[in-house]
Amino acid sequence: MLTNLIIKNFILIENLTLSFGHKLTVLTGETGAGKSILLDAVSFVLGARSDTSIISKDCEQTSVCATFDLQKNHPAITKLIDNDILSKSDIQNQNEIIIRRVLNKDGKNKIFINDIPVSLTLVKSIGEDLIEIHGQFDNQSLLNPATHINTLDTFGNLDGLKEQTKIAYNIWQDKKNERIKTEEEFLKAKQDEEYLKHNLAELETLNPQVGEEEELNQKRHLLQNSEKIITAIKDCYDYLSKYGDSPEKFINEASYSLERIPDDAKNDNIKEIISELETTSQNLCDAYERLSQILSSDISDTQSLEETEERLFTIRELARKHKITPDELPTFTKNLREIVENINNSDNVLNEKKKAEDLAKSSYIEIATKLSEERKKTGSELSKRVLAELAPLKLEKATFETAITTETDEKKFGPNGINTAYFMGTTNVGGKKDYIHKIASGGELARFTLAIKVVISNEQSISSMIFDEVDTGISGATASAVGERLATLSKHIQTMVITHSPQVASFGNHHFKVEKYYDDEKNKTITSVNQLSEQERIQEIARIISGDKITTEAIEAAKSLFHQSIKA
């Protein structure tokens, strides 16, 4: 329920703090006093579209703050948890959420829930679960037939079954779209079959491997430089063989000269030199032999270079052709092979897809049919219950019927099932049955709405309901009946009503008076709202009865209404 409302610099409201209680709250005041401004402020804080014209004269910004006290299982709480505004550890038996919206003169909005910045979309979504507003000429639940089936499902507590239907529908559509996509792929594949087979043959003949492009590139680089390598090796060989075929013999002769020194005359230094000459001779001999082998093997393999370049360039060309990297070619080949194989097996694949689609469709129809049967039972009960409410609202000659149609064209099947529902009826004996919003006057439409809300109040998750002049066009006993119905509704849902009817006003548990006055010092008109005491309520009801000049008779009539009315 809505517990507090703080409004600052909003149209004619300068600074206003209101506290609301359970059950029925009535708001009265002269025409033009600003009662609708309160509704605009509530709509604003719950995400309604707005512009800077709502900011009070000479002010830089306006703000509205609304506090709600909710049960832990309320849909708004669930949404806040899902959006990380509340955590499950925060949940207790009661949960307070505070929504604050600020609009600056430059048009910038700021919205907070429990001091956490949130999007306008989230606030709108939560607002739908918090307050339902019925304007004077906008009983939207009846004016829009698209909402009738939701009202029916709410009354029948069918939301669980409807959710199952939605899930089954989405699965069916997924399978259907999967089958359609596969058909389109196969159709395109068949059109390109020869081209695909040519590409596959090309790739399978080449048989590229992951990392092969880099290996071929390195090998190509080596082969391209083979001429320089051979020249350098030949020069080295020539230098070593300059004095004959055994370049080490000169070192051996030098070593032999030192060997002739008597052993007892060889010091350590000479011994080390002899050892080094022997090692050098051996190394030189090995190097000469290996150079000879390299020259005889002819590493400048021209044919190998051509083959390497041809394969390398082919791999790169195919990668460019298919717009992938060379290392992706093996995987691409595998996938292409599967596509070609599936073309040959397309009928079997499509049959499997169709079977899965048909199975999902059957599951949907089964659950949707069950929902449809429950709706028909619920529709009969709803019609009976609403009809029973019409007589107390002085619509005893009216009829009401929940018309439910069942679709047979699967193109009209949807996530909400296979039904459409319309509220039909008449307002006079012998009248033509039609949609309620087409045959009812403004006052009658308001009373039809009220009757429906009273009937479904036990099942609604909405926290608060506001009626703006639901008593338009009625008076006397009919107005008293409306007041009584509002009081009944408020036993289950916090209910507020803006009214000009003394009968409706007398049923309130709480009463606020809206007034407008001109402030000479501030040079502007200001709207104020004050909660009335019991005596002040009687005075206000008397004013509504007799006008500005309150008579003794009006006072007595107000007392009678006040004390005779049934408080929720």
User: Residue 302 — pLDDT band, cuts 50, 70, 90?
Assistant: low
Q: Containing H/E element for 110?
A: strand 109-113
pLDDT of residue 451: 87
189: confidence class by pLDDT, cuts 50, 70, 90: confident
CA angle 50, 34, 62 (to 5 degrees): 40
CA distance linking residue 224 with residue 245, whole number of Å: 31
Contacts for 60 with CB less than 8 Å, ≥ 6 apart: 104, 105
pLDDT at 437: 79
User: Residues 332-340: what's their mean pLDDT?
Assistant: 88
CA distances from 516 to 43, 421, 524 (A): 21, 44, 11
Average pLDDT over residues 40-58: 89
What value does the mean pLDDT take over residues 182-208?
A: 86
Q: Residues 88, 92, 96, CA angle at the centre, nearest 5°?
A: 95
Q: Residue 18 is inside which H or E element, if any?
A: strand 13-19
User: Contact 54/10 with Cβ under 8 angstroms?
Assistant: yes
DSSP 499: -
477: which residues sit within 8 A by CB, 6+ positions away?
Answer: 394
Is the pLDDT assigned to residue 356 strictly greater than 80? yes
Range with the poorest average pLDDT among 49-58, 192-201, 250-259, 320-329 = 250-259
Q: Which one is predicted more confidently, 410 or 143?
A: 410
| pLDDT digit string, tens, across residues 228-238 | 777 777 777 67
- Reported as half-sphere exposure (CB side, CA atoms, 13 A), residue 265 has a value of 5
DSSP 261: S
At residue 36, the pLDDT reads: 83
Percent over 90 (pLDDT), the chain: 36
| Average pLDDT of the chain to the nearest whole number | 85
Check residue 107 and give left, alpha or beta (phi > 0: left; psi -120 to 50: alpha): left
Long-range CB pairs of 480-486, under 8 A, 24+ apart, other chains included? 480/504, 480/565, 481/392, 481/393, 481/394, 482/393, 482/446, 482/447, 482/450, 483/507, 483/565, 484/392, 484/565, 484/566, 485/389, 485/392, 485/393, 485/450, 485/451, 485/454, 486/24, 486/450
Give pLDDT, residue 357: 95
**Least confident among 297-306, 323-332, 477-486:** 297-306
CA distance 229 to 415: 76
Q: Which residues of 67-101 are buried (b: 16+ CB within 10 A; e: fewer)?
A: bbbbeeebbbbebbeeeebbeeeeeeeebebebbb
Local confidence band at 340 (pLDDT 50, 70, 90 cut-offs): confident
Q: Looking at residues 341-356, what average pLDDT do you find?
A: 85
Quote the pLDDT of residue 567: 64
Q: What is the pLDDT of residues 442-475, one digit of tens each?
A: 777 778 888 888 888 776 667 788 888 777 767 7
What was the pLDDT predicted at 317?
Answer: 94
* Vertex 316: Cα angle to 315 and 319 (nearest 5): 90
CA distance 471 to 221: 94
Please give the radius of gyration of the chain, using alpha carbons only, rounded to the nearest integer: 46
Comparing 353 with 196, which gets the higher pLDDT? 353
Q: Residue 278 has which token pair?
A: 């022997």
Query: Helix (H, G, I), strand (E, B), or coil: what is residue 372?
Result: helix
- The token duo for 512 is 């606020």
CA 505 to chain CA centroid, nearest Å: 42
From 9-13, 322-326, 341-345, 452-456, the region with the lowest mean pLDDT: 341-345
Average pLDDT over residues 88-112: 82
Give the mean model confidence (pLDDT) for residues 132-153: 73
> What are the two backbone dihedrals, phi and then psi, of residue 141, each rounded to the nearest 5 degrees?
-65, -25
Predicted local confidence at residue 417, as pLDDT: 95
pLDDT number for residue 460: 67
Predicted confidence at residue 566, as pLDDT, reads: 66
Question: pLDDT digits over 491-537, tens only?
Answer: 888 999 998 889 999 999 999 999 888 888 888 888 889 999 999 99
pLDDT of residue 330: 94
Using an 8 Å Cβ cutoff, are 10 and 51 in contact? no
- Mean pLDDT within 105-127: 90
Of 64-73, 141-150, 305-314, 551-560, least confident by mean pLDDT is 141-150
Position 477 scores a pLDDT of 80
- Higher-confidence residue: 224 or 516? 516
The answer to whether 448 and 142 have CB atoms below 8 angstroms apart is yes
Average the pLDDT over 258-286 and give the result.
Answer: 80
Q: How confident is the model at residue 95 (pLDDT cuts 50, 70, 90)?
A: confident
Query: Looking at residue 258, what is its pLDDT?
Result: 74
pLDDT of residue 404: 94
Q: Look at the block and give the residue holding tokens 């092979």.
A: 337
What are 80's two structure tokens? 């806040």
Asked whether residue 406 carries a pLDDT value surpassing 90, the answer given is yes
| C-alpha distance from residue 496 to each of 27, 90, 92, 467 (Å) | 8, 30, 27, 6
pLDDT at residue number 462: 77
Rounded to whole angstroms, the Cα distance separating 116 from 103 reads: 16
Q: What is the pLDDT of residue 194?
A: 82
